[in-house]
Amino acid sequence: MLQSFKLALRSIRSNKMRSFLTMLGIIIGVASVIILVSLVNAYMSYMTESFASLGTNQINVNVINLSSRFVSADQMYEFYEEQEALFDNMTPMVNVDTAVKHGSDSMSSTSVTGVSEGYLDIKDYGLVQGRNIQYSDIVSRQKVCVVGYYVASELYGSPEKAIDETVKIGGYAFRIVGVTERQDKESMKDGGTDDFVWLPYSCAVKMSRNANISNYIFTIRQLDRADEAREQIEEFLYGIFKNEDLYNVVAMSEMLDSLNSMIAMVSAGLGGIAGISLLVAGVGVMNIMLVSVTERTREIGIRKALGARKGVILEQFVIEAAVQSAMGGIIGILLGSAATRLAGAAAGLDATPTPSAVLISFSVSVAIGLFFGYAPARRAAGLNPIDALRSE
């Protein structure tokens, strides 16, 4: 076998251009598989991280309250307390569409949301200054608020200076009691993750002039009980509304699972499409090897006349095809890896070659060399020595 390997390398060196053209299809196919699969996986990781930042342990509840059928915040809290084994936290959510003002400064992109004291834990934010909204603030409708790092910096210069200052929200003066830690470590901007104000939801309800709250967020204790938690919420709401169209319950973990399944299917599909080029490359390997057998017919005849067995001739040409495919696979891996990093940087993704894509594409390239190289090798091994020697 070692002798056959040396002969294969000698044949490749003596026909450099033809060998390169033979490997070109393998190179393109392997590189394409690595690039496409790795980029899709990088995008999948990005989407997973984005969903994780929203909270994979969250269940979002939206209800349509009618005059005859509605659910109050007190009812939701009663249900939450009854299901304490399932749920870790719960908060009503009341969005207030208004600008945030301080003196002559106004921030129109700032999100203003009425929440409970549990929202800080749900978001998993820390406080850099002051305190969180408290239950007593909600009960007594105290006009206090917690602001994001960007709001404190823009309106007051720093979180330290923002504490106990007042800010105008919807025409009402609210006292800032807390500032959250900076979330965006790279840059802060209007409408970003640090541009928000949290109020007691009881104040937000009054400001929005809507007696009933439509949105709630639950967090579950165990991700593997997400289905059970969602079903419990739906059963509770159906008992009140008697109509499934009047509420919507979405578990973020289920959305993430669906997204991952969809992206995995896309990844497999793109990998399959790129893999077609490997099959085309295999046909090229077979054609070149057939040409090589035809050109070396006399050489084969001489070797057979000197006693070379049929298996030795078969082994020589199969190994030659496999070596060319393997070399093409290695070059394809190097090019694909470099192109993956460049494409990932251009797309803003942390893209690195996927080990599984590298292993599979290289294995397929070698397998293609063996498979498509077998037919020409068998033809070479089956030549009649006398006929081969007569060949010009």
Give the model confidence (pLDDT) of 352-370 as tens digits: 887 877 887 788 777 877 7
**Quick one: what percent of the chain has pLDDT higher than 90?**
35
- Whether the CB-CB separation of 114 and 201 falls below 8 Å is answered with yes
Tens digit of each residue's pLDDT (9 = 90 or more) over 274-296: 667 777 777 777 777 777 666 66
The C-alpha angle 370, 375, 381, rounded to 5 degrees, equals 105
N- to C-terminal Cα distance for the chain? 28
- Whether the CB-CB separation of 325 and 368 falls below 8 Å is answered with yes
Cβ-based neighbours of 230, under 8 Å, separated by 6 or more:
59, 249, 251, 254
Among 274, 223, 269, 212, residue whose Cα is nearest residue 246: 212
Does the pLDDT value for residue 110 go beyond 70? yes
pTM of the model: 0.61
In the prediction, which pLDDT does 297 show?
Answer: 65
- The span from the CA of 341 to the CA of 321, in Å, is 30
Helical residues (DSSP H) of the chain, grouped into ranges: 2-14, 16-54, 73-82, 119-123, 135-139, 149-156, 159-162, 201-208, 226-241, 252-295, 297-305, 310-347, 355-381, 385-390
- The span from the CA of 77 to the CA of 91, in Å, is 9
Does the pLDDT value for residue 220 go beyond 60? yes
In the prediction, which pLDDT does 308 show?
Answer: 65
- Whether the CB-CB separation of 94 and 208 falls below 8 Å is answered with yes
- Whether the CB-CB separation of 247 and 233 falls below 8 Å is answered with no
Domain residue ranges in the chain = 2-51+258-390, 92-211
- The span from the CA of 82 to the CA of 94, in Å, is 23
Tens digit of each residue's pLDDT (9 = 90 or more) over 21-67: 778 878 888 888 888 888 887 877 777 666 666 667 889 999 998 88
80 token code pair: 């939450």
Confidence of residue 1 (pLDDT cuts 50, 70, 90): low
Number of other residues whose CB lies within 10 A of the CB of residue 356? 12
- Mean pLDDT, rounded, of the chain: 82
In the prediction, which pLDDT does 305 show?
Answer: 66
| 100 or 12, higher pLDDT | 100
What does the chain come to in residues? 392
- The span from the CA of 360 to the CA of 271, in Å, is 10
- The span from the CA of 281 to the CA of 9, in Å, is 20
- The span from the CA of 167 to the CA of 369, in Å, is 72
In the prediction, which pLDDT does 162 show?
Answer: 93
